[in-house]
Structure 1
């Protein structure tokens, strides 16, 4: 469904952020994009959804194919109407609007007659939102705002959903709940999901395939089972030793071996 080919992105005409990045997201699958802060994960999603221009960024090389059609020169509103919707890092809900009005904004590209069915569908995934449907979004907890952000995206009936750090700032139990819903949306709705995460363990638990980014490039890819058993991934992303045992913070702090893919 989605193919990114040799993508280069530059900010402010000088800062090269993505350096020949290539990846794909198969239809009906969950694809995880993992990496540390500054690897270029969020930039990748913004390039796909057409949101770079607002941050003085631009695609200088490569292309993005969605269902075989290049979309890297399309404005974001046209990309949304093609069925691509991004849930931004930090939730970005409309704090001075009610839960239901936030959902109404998500469904603006759909016919008005679909609104009620769409809202009930979202409430089926997130019963807590139904309980708070008239509450101002700014007074909700971080977990509830994340549910609202995902629910707002579902109102657009996306075929491809881009999720940027959905676990950010959430307690472990809420992370588990959010990722369970992501899995349900994928299996029940058939929505293709590209999931950007720093929480590698949570992402690998729900995704089918994964890509690992460093310094604007893909350095490793494979099925999530393959990545989870890879010694480098275990050591640098899952906090384990090469044999799969958990490592103490002191051991990790003083560990100096370079990652094999940087050799």
Structure 2
């Protein structure tokens, strides 16, 4: 995969994110059930693990429950009349199921929500500073420089109003703002949404570099399964609020069902007729 070149690395010394031992479980969801408005059951006993130092992709179609999973992890469900009604969420070995969203940020979680959600009336620099609201001024100034080193485009437009940036530039800004909190876990909700293919490639290149050069753990949810599995170490497939398939990303890329239903490749690489597609549920081995 091609990535942006010529960008100084933030390095591992004084990095944007704290280091940690690779392989240990950083985040664990155990039989999590989520209900909205006391009626709508969205997550149905979902379990997954994100190992420290890995990129983990959570894939699925619209309505599978991917965004709800991130909201459950980040503590944002109450704002949408949702709650975890069963199961547990653990971060760094501690149960955070009932911990509020602000405390989860201070413990090392950052979320880039779907649609980027930058502060459109503020400048690029002001957006980035806003991401460090939990930290001291000296630390945030140092991290601001590191974000500019990693995203030189943002450095060139630091005085521009965020609302006038392109979609790709806003996505870089959203990621940069999340990094200002020095997260241990970065969560990305549909980072490719609304972006042209070359920009998608560039954004995922940055995600891979962040993981490789700083050791940052990343949980990314995507409908662009092909691109996500190219950079991920491990993947999960969601359907109807449950995990139906998981494994190393390289194995998922070669799985016949994943190829057909998520990568758009049939067994012979050709397009399926409508008559074949009608029966796809019967042909999914996990169903």
Q: TM-score, normalised by structure 2?
A: 0.88
Distance 2:285 2:76 in 1: 30
Deviations 1:172-204 (A, max 9, x none): 110011001000111111111101000000000
Q: Please tell me whether the aligned partners of residues 7 and 22 of structure 1 are also in contact (alpha carbons under 8 angstroms).
A: yes
For residues 230-249 of structure 1, the aligned pairs below 5 Å read 230-243=255-268, 245=269, 247-248=270-271
**The 10-residue stretch of structure 1 (202-211 or 107-116) with the greater mean CA deviation from structure 2:** 107-116
Task: Flag structure 2 segments of 5+ consecutive residues without an equivalent.
Answer: 1-25
Residue 254 of structure 1, CA deviation: 4.8
**The 10-residue stretch of structure 1 (40-49 or 112-121) with the greater mean CA deviation from structure 2:** 112-121
Say if 2:280 is the partner of 1:257. Answer: yes
Give the SS at the match of 2:97: coil
Q: TM-score, normalised by structure 1?
A: 0.96
For residues 1-263 of structure 1, the aligned pairs below 5 Å read 1-243=26-268, 245=269, 247-248=270-271, 251=273, 254-255=276-277, 256-258=279-281, 259-261=283-285, 263=287
Task: Flag structure 1 segments of 5+ consecutive residues without an equivalent.
Answer: none
Distance 1:158 1:110 in 2: 12
Residue 242 of structure 1, CA deviation: 1.9
Residue 116 of structure 1, CA deviation: 2.1
Q: CA RMSD in A?
A: 1.2
Q: Please tell me whether the aligned partners of residues 58 and 237 of structure 2 are also in contact (alpha carbons under 8 angstroms).
A: yes
Distance 1:189 1:225 in 2: 22
Distance 1:122 1:105 in 2: 13
Q: Please tell me whether the aligned partners of residues 219 and 261 of structure 1 are also in contact (alpha carbons under 8 angstroms).
A: no
* Deviant stretches of 4+, over 6 Å: none
Distance 1:166 1:261 in 2: 29
Give the SS at the match of 2:174: helix
